[in-house]
Amino acid sequence: MTNKRDLTFAQMFNLSFGFFGVQIAYALQSANISRIFATLGADPHQLSFFWILPPLMGMIVQPLIGKWSDRTWTRMGRRKPYLLVGAIVAVLVMLLLPKAGSLNLSTAYLFLGLNSAMWFGLFSLIFLDTSINVAMQPFKMMVGDLVNEKQKATAYSIQSFLCNAGSLVGYLFPIFFTWIGIANTAPEGVVPDSVIYSFWCGAAILIVCVLYTFMKVKEMPPKEYAEFHGIDPAKSEEKKSEGLLKLLVKAPKTFWTVGLVQFFCWAAFLYMWTYTNGAIAHNCWGTSDTASAAYQAAGNWVGVLFAVQAVGSILWALVIPRFKNLKLAYVVSLLAGAAGFASVMFIHNQYLLFVSYFLIGFAWAAMLALPFTFLTNALEGNPYMGSYLGLFNCTICLPQIVAAATGGAVISLVGGSQGAMLLLAGVFLVLGACSVALVKTKQTK
C-alpha cells in the first residue's frame, strides 16, 4: 500500500473516544489518591510512597502488553482485547477503592506503620493504576497502527483533547456532588461520600466510552497492516524471537532522547499529584488537619484547579498542531508549565491559582501528544510498534518511581513544605525543556 490513506476527523475521534472515559478514571485517581490516603491516616512524609508500586507495575505490564499485542490477531482485533480487559478491571477496582475506610477493617497497625485500611487501599491502587494503563496504552498503539505520519500530530492532539476533557469531568465530580448535597465530610478514617460517588460515576462512564471505541474501530488485518507500514512479513516472522531487551538495545535514538524529557516531566507531575492537596490546604485554608472540613474543602478545590489545568490542556492541544516546529511547541509548553508550578508556592489566594494551573495545562497537553508523535514517526515501518510503545511507558513509570521513592527524603530537606515540592516540580520542567534540544525529529510529507 504505497499511498497511505488519510482518516476523516470522525474516524480519528472514534479511535480515541474511549480515552475520554479512561482519563476520567485517571483524573479521579490523580486528584484524590493523596486525599484518600491522608484521610485513612497517612502523614505527608508517607504520601509519596503510595505512588511507587503503581508505576512499578506499569513498567512490568506495559512492555508485555505491547509485545503480546504485536503478536495478537483475533476476531475482536489486535489491541482491542487488551483495551476491554483493562477497562473491566479498572471499573471493578473503582467500585472498591474509595470504600477502603468503610469496610470495617481493623485499624491496628500491621506492617510498616500502615493500618489495614491503608493496605487495602494500596493494593487497590496498584490494580487501578495497572488496569488504567492497560486500558490506556492500546489507544496510543492504535493511533500508531492506523494513522499515517502526516496525521499523527492531529490524531494525538485529538486524543489529548479528549483526554483532558475527561480530566475536566473527573476533577469536578467531587465538588459537583458536594454542590448537590452529597456529604463532603465523614467520620475520621472514612472517605466522604462525595468522593465515593465520584469514583462510581467515573466507572460507569469509563465502560460506556471504551465500549463505544471497541465497537466503532476496526483494526487492520495483518496483511493490510504490513502493507500500510511497509513491513516485509517474511523478515518480521524471522525476527519474532527477539526479546524486549534486544529491542531496547536497538531502540532508535528518539526513544532515548524523548525519554529523557519524559523523565523530568513525569517526576514533576508526580509531585503535583502527591503534594497539591496539602500545599493548597496549608496556603489557602491554613490547615493541615485531614479530618477538618477545611481540609476536605481544599480537597474539592484541588479538583477545581485540576479542572482548570484540563481546560488549559484542551485549549493548548488545539494550538500545538499549528506550530510549524513541534520541538518549539514542546519547549514553550514545558516552560509555561514550569512557571505555573513555581508560582503555587507563593500564592495564598485560591482564585489566583487558576492562572498557575492553567499554565500547567500547557505542559500536560504537550506531554500527552508530542512524545508519541515523535516516537511513532521514528518507528514507522518497524514491526514492533506495540513493543516499543510498551517499553516507552517505562519513561513514564520510572520517573514516578524515583520521585515517589525519594519524595519523603526531599520533603524533609525542604522543611516539610509541600508547596516547596511544587517549586521543585517547576525546576524539573525547565530541565525537561532544555532536554528537548537533544530530540531529533523525522520530517513528514
**Which CATH number fits the domain that encloses residue 207?**
1.20.1250.20
Indicate if the pLDDT at residue 293 is higher than 70.
Answer: yes
**Cα–Cα dist 173/145, whole Å:** 34
Q: Around Cβ 255, how many Cβ atoms within 10 Å? A: 20
What pLDDT does 324 receive? 84
Query: 170 lies in a domain?
Result: yes
What pLDDT does 55 receive? 76
Beta-bridged to residue 114, according to DSSP, are 111
Lowest mean pLDDT among 243-252, 264-273, 340-349, 394-403: 243-252
- 367, three cell numbers: 506531554
* Helical pair 326-344 and 253-284, crossing angle rounded to 10 deg: 20
**Cα–Cα dist 43/320, whole Å:** 39
**Average pLDDT in the 161-169 region?**
85
What pLDDT does 103 receive? 65
Strand ranges inside 77-120, DSSP E: 109-111, 114-115
**Average pLDDT in the 339-363 region?**
95
Indicate if the pLDDT at residue 122 is higher than 80.
Answer: no
**Residue 295 three-state SS:** helix
Q: How confident is the model at residue 339 (pLDDT cuts 50, 70, 90)?
A: very high
Query: 71 lies in a domain?
Result: yes
**Average pLDDT in the 246-256 region?**
84
Indicate if the pLDDT at residue 367 is higher than 50.
Answer: yes
Query: 45 lies in a domain?
Result: yes
Whose CA is closest to 143, among 160, 156, 125?
Answer: 156
Query: 148 lies in a domain?
Result: yes
Q: Model confidence over 26-72: pLDDT tens digits?
A: 888 877 877 787 777 766 666 667 667 777 777 777 787 877 887 77
According to DSSP, residue 147 is labeled: S
CB crowding 29-39: b at 16 or more within 10 Å, else e: bbbbbbbbbbb
**Average pLDDT in the 246-251 region?**
80
Q: How far is CA 121 from the centre of its chain?
A: 19
> Where in the sequence is the domain holding 128, given as residue range(s)?
9-438
CA Rg value for the chain = 21
Domain count within the chain: 1
Query: 445 lies in a domain?
Result: no
Indicate if the pLDDT at residue 380 is higher than 80.
Answer: no
Q: Model confidence over 408-423: pLDDT tens digits?
A: 889 989 888 888 999 9
**Cα–Cα dist 335/296, whole Å:** 31
Percent of the chain with pLDDT over 70: 89
What pLDDT does 114 receive? 65
Query: 4 lies in a domain?
Result: no
**Average pLDDT in the 205-217 region?**
94
**Cα–Cα dist 400/412, whole Å:** 18
Indicate if the pLDDT at residue 242 is higher than 50.
Answer: yes
Indicate if the pLDDT at residue 378 is higher than 60.
Answer: yes
The answer to whether residues 323 and 235 touch, using CB atoms and an 8 Å cutoff, is no
**Cα–Cα dist 133/320, whole Å:** 25
Q: What is the DSSP string of 399-436?
A: HHHHHHHHHHHHHHHTTT-HHHHHHHHHHHHHHHHHHG
The answer to whether residues 423 and 345 touch, using CB atoms and an 8 Å cutoff, is yes
Query: 1 lies in a domain?
Result: no
This prediction has a pTM of 0.73
- 78, three cell numbers: 489486535
Query: 302 lies in a domain?
Result: yes
Whose CA is closest to 141, among 96, 82, 226, 75?
Answer: 82
Phi, psi of 219 (to 5 degrees): -80, 155
Query: In the Cβ-directed half-sphere of 63, how many Cα atoms lie within 13 Å?
Result: 18
